[in-house]
């Protein structure tokens, strides 16, 4: 059927087009979409005592989220991910602003310097903080040297340690889109605002910042989504004290063997992600098309 | 602000100085932990905190550790295989998406973007559930399958960006001069999109080589990649051997980035 339309290159289906798309469609279909549908089905199933799953329509796994034990973990994860987003924005915005407007001929080098840690292994970055925050590590000795503390205090395996690791790991995700949107900024707009009598502060809040909003939102999504599902950093820096949703999912799949509940959590995380992306596309995607 | 102005030109008023100072502190924050980590890999004592003197003993120990070498080998096999497969599949898909409009294109586009933004833990557990459901033995094969699945989208996006900036009249000229579609592809299209394909392949290899979360779920007990090995070493306890391994990886990454950016900036000329 597809082969019949073979002549019409560029629009509609053809044999050649099917050949180009088939491998990707197969791989992503079988090894990405089908597994997602599988956990969607599992999330409405019932976990057996020995780890098996009986399929059905059981909303219990989703209701289990409201169990105070789990709700506490989910709320904490969301708060930590939100805080991480805000801190990355507070640190990343001035940095991106500095690189875009004061970087001069150093721009490329400065942005490359932000990207290098982003290209290095996540585990190596987390390990650096395990060492610094651990035992009588560099952080503790600095605190003692400055006279803030008298002896070593517990820094690792705290929510603060997780925050530190998250900000450290996700900062580049915030800086890159911010830089991309500030870099395109037409400096004449700023001059115009100032010529019309706006102070530097007013110029920033009424001209520069609103125009960089696509970058702010893109960066916030890029930081919030993965940090809400983060599992390595709380695992290495939070220990059993600061469990996040990602750790909870991992426990359900590997230790508790309650795959139905684990699937429900994973589905919720995926839906959260899709929701955020949709909001982004609706609110910013179209604005951007209208030309900046 | 004039483009290309020297870095310090506008630094004169308080906000600019504050901005410069702030940027300096952020770079310190980004790099100090890495440098501390590298520094203590040369420590002669077992401590990763107290400096005793210079030594290369942890590097010697690292390169004697067969399990680390095995994990490195596994990572290379997985990385090269997954890169080769995903680069071919992703490039083909990019050609289809950049050149054709067809029914279901929105679904194809959405799937590709969803695969890049889906939280890794969701991808990891869903693949684990899938492999267990179809009774596929977990091991190096499942790792490669999973890596190809998440690399395809990135390759497609990178190659497609290159294709959209390409002048199609060259291909039309080749066809008019009598070249058949395969010849046109090999002689005209492929050389033109090669930088994009290479960039996609490089990205795929980096993602595969660094991936921990997805691999963690689909590796099973049999196979261990380098990130899995590092994870179990950290879990076992802090040791300068991990510092040495981290240093080797950091230097390798840096060399690749600098080499890669050189290669691509020369290609652009």
Decide if pLDDT at B117 tops 50: yes
H or E element, residue A200: helix A200-203
| B127-139 pLDDT tens trace | 999 999 999 999 9
Choose among A266, A56, A270, A257: nearest CA to B132.
A257
Which spans in B100-189 are helix H?
105-117, 120-133, 140-164, 169-176, 181-184
State the average pLDDT over residues A260-278.
89
CATH code for the domain defined by A68-289: 1.10.3720.10
- From chain A, the residues in CB contact with B103 under 8 A are 12-13
Decide if pLDDT at A287 tops 50: no
State the average pLDDT over residues B77-93.
97
pTM of the complete model: 0.87
> Which of A95, A102, A255 to mutate against chain B (most B CBs within 10 Å)?
A102
Query: B156: which residues sit within 8 A by CB, 6+ positions away?
Result: A24, B90, B91, B93, B94, B97, B112, B200
- From chain A, the residues in CB contact with B217 under 8 A are 253-254
What's the CA gap between B75 and A99, in Å, rounded?
36
| B244-267 pLDDT tens trace | 999 999 998 888 878 877 777 765
What's the CA gap between A77 and B43, in Å, rounded?
37
State the average pLDDT over residues A122-149.
86
Decide if pLDDT at A109 tops 70: yes
CA count, 13 A, side-chain hemisphere, A153: 12
Q: For residues A78 and A12, which has the higher predicted lDDT (pLDDT)?
A: A78
Decide if pLDDT at A9 tops 60: no
Among chain A residues, the shortest Cα distance to B23 is held by A95
**pLDDT reported for residue A11:** 55
**pLDDT reported for residue B13:** 53
**pLDDT reported for residue A12:** 65
3-state secondary structure of B43: strand
State the average pLDDT over residues A243-254.
91
The residues spanned by each domain of chain A are: 68-289
The DSSP symbol for B41 reads G
> In whole angstroms, what separates CA B26 from the centre of its chain?
24
CATH class of B68-101+109-237: mainly alpha
**pLDDT reported for residue A153:** 82
The DSSP symbol for A81 reads H
Which tokens belong to A229? 């599902």
Beta bridge partners of A47: A53
Among chain B residues, the shortest Cα distance to A225 is held by B119
Q: To the nearest 5 percent, what fractions of chain B are helix, strand and coil?
A: 75, 0, 20
Q: For residues B87 and A101, which has the higher predicted lDDT (pLDDT)?
A: B87
Whether B19 and A98 lie within 8 Å, measured CB to CB: yes
Q: For residues B189 and B222, which has the higher predicted lDDT (pLDDT)?
A: B189
Q: For the stretch B177-202, what's the b/e string if a residue is b when 16 or more beta carbons lie within 10 angstroms of its beta carbon? A: eebeeeebbeebbeebbebbbbbbbb
Q: For residues A245 and A278, which has the higher predicted lDDT (pLDDT)?
A: A245
**pLDDT reported for residue A292:** 30
- pLDDT mean across residues, chain B: 88
User: Contact B212/B231 with Cβ under 8 angstroms?
Assistant: yes
Distances from the Cα of A144 to the Cα of A129, B152, B233, angstroms: 18, 50, 29
Decide if pLDDT at B38 tops 80: yes
Highest mean pLDDT among A111-115, A120-124, B87-91, B184-188: B87-91
Highest mean pLDDT among A96-100, A140-144, A224-228: A96-100
| A176-201 pLDDT tens trace | 999 999 988 887 888 888 888 888 78
Decide if pLDDT at B97 tops 80: yes
Q: Position of tokens 């139905």?
A: A260
- pLDDT mean across residues, chain A: 85
> Which of A2, A18, A21, A95 to mutate against chain B (most B CBs within 10 Å)?
A21
3-state secondary structure of A49: coil
State the average pLDDT over residues B142-158.
96
Whether A17 and B100 lie within 8 Å, measured CB to CB: yes
The residues spanned by each domain of chain B are: 24-54+242-268, 68-101+109-237
State the average pLDDT over residues B45-58.
85
State the average pLDDT over residues B102-117.
88
> Which of B121, B246, B251 to mutate against chain A (most A CBs within 10 Å)?
B121
State the average pLDDT over residues B186-205.
90
Q: For residues A3 and A125, which has the higher predicted lDDT (pLDDT)?
A: A125
State the average pLDDT over residues A132-148.
83
A156: region left, alpha or beta (phi > 0 left; psi from -120 to 50 alpha) = beta
B6 pLDDT band, cuts 50/70/90, is very low
């Amino acid at each position: 059927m597809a082969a019949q339309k073979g002549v019409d290159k560029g629009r509609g289906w053809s044999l050649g087009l099917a050949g180009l798309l088939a491998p990707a469609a197969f791989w992503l279909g079988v090894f990405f979409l089908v597994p997602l549908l599988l956990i969607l089905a599992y999330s409405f199933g019932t976990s057996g005592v020995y780890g098996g799953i009986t399929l059905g329509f059981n909303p219990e796994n989703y209701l289990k989220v409201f169990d105070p034990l789990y709700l506490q973990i989910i709320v904490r994860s969301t708060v930590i991910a939100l805080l991480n987003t805000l801190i990355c924005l507070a640190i990343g915005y001035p940095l991106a602003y500095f690189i875009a407007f004061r970087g001069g001929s150093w721009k490329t080098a400065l942005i490359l310097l932000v990207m290098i840690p982003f290209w290095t292994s996540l585990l190596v970055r987390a390990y650096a903080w395990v060492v610094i925050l651990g035992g009588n590590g560099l952080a503790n000795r600095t605190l003692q040297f400055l006279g803030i503390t008298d002896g070593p205090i517990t820094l690792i395996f705290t929510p603060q340690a997780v925050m530190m690791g998250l900000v450290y790991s996700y900062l580049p995700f915030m800086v890159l889109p911010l830089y991309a949107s500030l870099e395109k900024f037409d400096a004449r707009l700023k001059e115009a605002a100032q010529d019309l009598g706006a102070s530097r502060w007013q110029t920033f809040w009424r001209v520069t910042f609103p125009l960089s909003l696509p970058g702010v939102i893109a960066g916030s999504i890029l930081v919030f989504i993965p940090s809400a599902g983060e599992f390595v950093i709380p695992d290495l820096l939070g220990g059993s004290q600061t469990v996040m949703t990602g750790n909870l999912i991992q426990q359900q799949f590997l230790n508790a063997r309650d795959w139905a509940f684990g699937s429900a959590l994973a589905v919720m995380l995926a839906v959260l992600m899709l929701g955020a992306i949709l909001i982004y596309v609706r609110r910013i995607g179209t604005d951007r098309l209208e030309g900046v | 602000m004039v483009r290309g102005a020297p870095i310090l030109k506008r630094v004169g008023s308080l906000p600019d100085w504050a901005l410069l100072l702030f940027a300096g502190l952020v770079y310190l924050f980004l790099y100090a932990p890495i440098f501390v980590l590298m520094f203590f890999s040369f420590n002669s004592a077992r401590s990763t905190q107290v400096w005793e003197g210079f030594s290369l003993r942890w590097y010697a120990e690292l390169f004697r550790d067969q399990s680390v070498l095995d994990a490195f080998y596994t990572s290379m096999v997985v990385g090269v295989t997954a890169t080769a497969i995903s680069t071919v599949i992703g490039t083909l898909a990019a050609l289809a998406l950049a050149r054709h409009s067809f029914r279901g294109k929105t679904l194809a586009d959405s799937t590709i973007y969803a695969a890049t933004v889906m939280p890794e833990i969701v991808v990891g557990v869903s693949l684990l559930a899938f492999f267990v459901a179809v009774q596929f033995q977990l091991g190096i094969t499942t790792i490669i399958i999973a890596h190809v699945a998440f690399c395809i989208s990135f390759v497609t996006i990178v190659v497609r960006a290159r294709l959209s900036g390409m002048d199609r009249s060259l291909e039309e000229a080749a066809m008019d001069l009598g070249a058949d579609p395969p010849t046109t592809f090999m002689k005209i299209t492929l050389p033109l999109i090669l930088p994009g394909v290479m960039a996609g392949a490089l990205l795929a290899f980096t993602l595969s080589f660094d991936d921990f979360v997805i691999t963690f779920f689909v590796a099973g007990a049999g196979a261990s990649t380098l990130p899995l090995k590092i994870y179990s070493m950290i879990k076992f306890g802090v040791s300068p051997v991990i510092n040495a391994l981290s240093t080797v990886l950091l230097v390798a990454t840096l060399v690749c980035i600098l080499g890669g950016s050189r290669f691509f900036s020369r290609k652009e000329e």
